[in-house]
Amino acid sequence: MQPIWKAWCVQIDVTNHCLPSRNCIYCTRFVRHLRNDQKFFMDMPTFENALLSVKDFPKRVGIIGGEPTLHPEFQEICHLIKKILPNKFVQLWTTGGPRFEHYKSLIKKTFRSIAYNEHNEEQRKVCRHQPITIAIQDVVADKKLMWQLIDDCWVQRKWCPTISHKGAFFCEVAYALDVLFDGPGGYEVNDAWWRRTPEQFQDQVKRYCPSCGAAIPIERETIDGNIEKISPGILEKYRQKNLHIKEDEIEIFDKKLTAQAIEESRKTWAPWNYRGDVRKDNPECG
């Protein structure tokens, strides 16, 4: 794993509310499975503190969700960005929608760039998401191999650490798992959290990564499907937490993956290239 400060971007998750039409399987924020009490809009003091904590972060800052423009104080979000990070490369991650169209002028004045992934009908037929609801601890029996895969996880190498209403996390999917399973929250948000080395965030690695499927070299699924693969251990957790699941929209994945099968899959596996349009190993392809 790499130090947090080496990430090409740090995200601030301002909400996990999303447009109803974007009910994608294997969403990295597990939006379709959240209970109503787990959905949030980050309050402005928390958001301001998040911005202050990354003033000296060496790379760019992202504003992400859910759909960030759904935040009822989106104008104030933009105001604080211009006030606190006027010279920082700040990027908006959005799926579009009516609120995005409404705020287009403000967005153009606030953000250096826009990561626009509409998840429209055409994209939904080609975008292939990693089945993160298959827990690696459920399907990789060789624990030494499991930890080797986790240590080389593409999400940690190519995507982003994040700040949420529950604190700071070395990995954006780890944050989402903390919300999903009512975890203890992340690190205190200050100007030191993102300076952690891999040795210093192993508590989060051990807490979240075994329940995640991101590091498994396995076939991905197009996001227009309704059937989501889920491993037995994760399904049991979903039921214990009263998370939203529809029994006719899940497929229990109870296979055990051998080292040979995993090695064979790794030869052509590129989960970060979920749209199939990336021609090089670019960390910004996410």
Structure-token pair, residue 90 = 């700040």
Mean pLDDT across 33-53: 98
> Each residue of 237-266: pLDDT tens digit?
999 999 999 999 999 999 999 999 999 998
Q: Which helix (H) or strand (E) holds 263?
A: helix 259-266
pLDDT class of 129 with cuts at 50, 70, 90: confident
CB neighbourhood size of 110 (10 A): 20
Rounded distance between C-alpha atoms, residue 155 and residue 158, angstroms: 5
DSSP string, 144-157: HHHHHHHHT-HHHH
Q: Is residue 286 scored above 90 in pLDDT?
A: no
pLDDT at 203: 98
Rounded distance between C-alpha atoms, residue 266 and residue 250, angstroms: 25
> Each residue of 203-226: pLDDT tens digit?
999 999 999 999 999 988 777 777
- Which pTM value belongs to this model? 0.92
pLDDT at 10: 98
Contact (CB, 8 A) for 66 and 86? no
> Each residue of 84-115: pLDDT tens digit?
999 999 999 999 999 999 999 999 999 999 99
Q: How far is CA 285 from CA 170, 270, 275, in A?
A: 19, 11, 9
Rounded distance between C-alpha atoms, residue 30 and residue 53, angstroms: 26
pLDDT at 277: 52
Give the pairing of strands 128-129 and 221-222: antiparallel
Q: Is residue 124 scored above 90 in pLDDT?
A: no
pLDDT at 54: 98
Sign of CA dihedral 246, 250, 254, 260: negative
* Fold topology of 4-124: TIM Barrel (3.20.20)
Query: Which of 21-30, 141-150, 197-206 is predicted with the least confidence, judged by mean pLDDT?
Result: 21-30
Q: How many helices (H) and strands (E) does the chain have?
A: 12, 10
Contact (CB, 8 A) for 159 and 8? no
> What are the residue ranges spanned by the domains of the chain?
4-124
Tokens 């895969």 label which residue?
149
